[in-house]
């Protein structure tokens, strides 16, 4: 796949999942605050978790972009073809057991409107990174991500943004389950 096509497809996937998150953030707040059985997070807590996690993931994505652009400025070449995302798909699945780090756990004190604005900002940041690195230059620096596992756990910018998307997708489904159980 060509770089323009791969980046356009990634942008579309990011747009789609953030639209789904923002749709959930527009639901009735009382419904989003209903606690499901078993002590799992409420819908609003899941949204808060996604926003908190995005903050940290996008800081690292910014770092990847900056370092990639610096390497490109030095003359480093990047691959002619787009990377694979297939080895990341398991991140969106329920079978992946990954305890959220303490700094990404919801406190329940953030207003729904604030969470929605943060999610909109996160989407804009992801899009800005794609615009800064539109042709594959974002592959010139990689960061290890333990949740990926396996031998290929070092991710470049586009794969890192795919992780942001997959994480959000996983939690859109969780919100839907929580809301269905609270009916």
CA distance 41 to 178: 8
Domain boundaries, position 95: 3-181
- Model pTM? 0.91
> pLDDT tens, 28-82?
999 999 988 777 899 999 999 999 999 999 999 999 999 999 999 999 999 888 8
Q: For the chain, how many structural domains are there in total?
A: 1
> pLDDT tens, 117-132?
999 999 999 999 999 9
The dihedral through the CA atoms of 102, 177, 161, 148 has a sign that is positive
Which helix (H) or strand (E) segment holds residue 111: the answer is none
The domain spanning residue 148 has which CATH number?
1.20.120.450
């Amino acid at each position: 796949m060509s770089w323009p096509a791969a980046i356009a497809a990634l942008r579309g996937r990011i747009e789609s999942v953030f639209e789904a998150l923002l749709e959930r953030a527009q639901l009735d707040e009382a419904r989003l605050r209903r606690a499901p059985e078993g002590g799992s997070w409420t819908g609003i807590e899941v949204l808060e978790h996604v926003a908190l996690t995005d903050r940290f993931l996008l800081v690292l994505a910014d770092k990847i972009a900056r370092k990639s652009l610096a390497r490109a400025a030095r003359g480093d070449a990047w691959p002619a073809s787009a990377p694979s995302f297939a080895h990341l798909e398991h991140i969106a699945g329920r079978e992946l057991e990954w305890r959220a780090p303490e700094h990404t756990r919801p406190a329940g004190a953030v207003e729904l409107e604030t969470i929605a604005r943060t999610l909109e900002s996160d989407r804009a940041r992801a899009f800005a990174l794609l615009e800064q690195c539109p042709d594959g230059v974002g592959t010139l620096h990689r960061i290890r991500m333990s949740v990926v596992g396996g031998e290929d756990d070092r991710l470049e910018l586009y794969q890192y943004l795919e992780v942001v998307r997959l994480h959000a997708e996983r939690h859109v489904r969780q919100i839907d389950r929580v809301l269905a159980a609270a009916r």
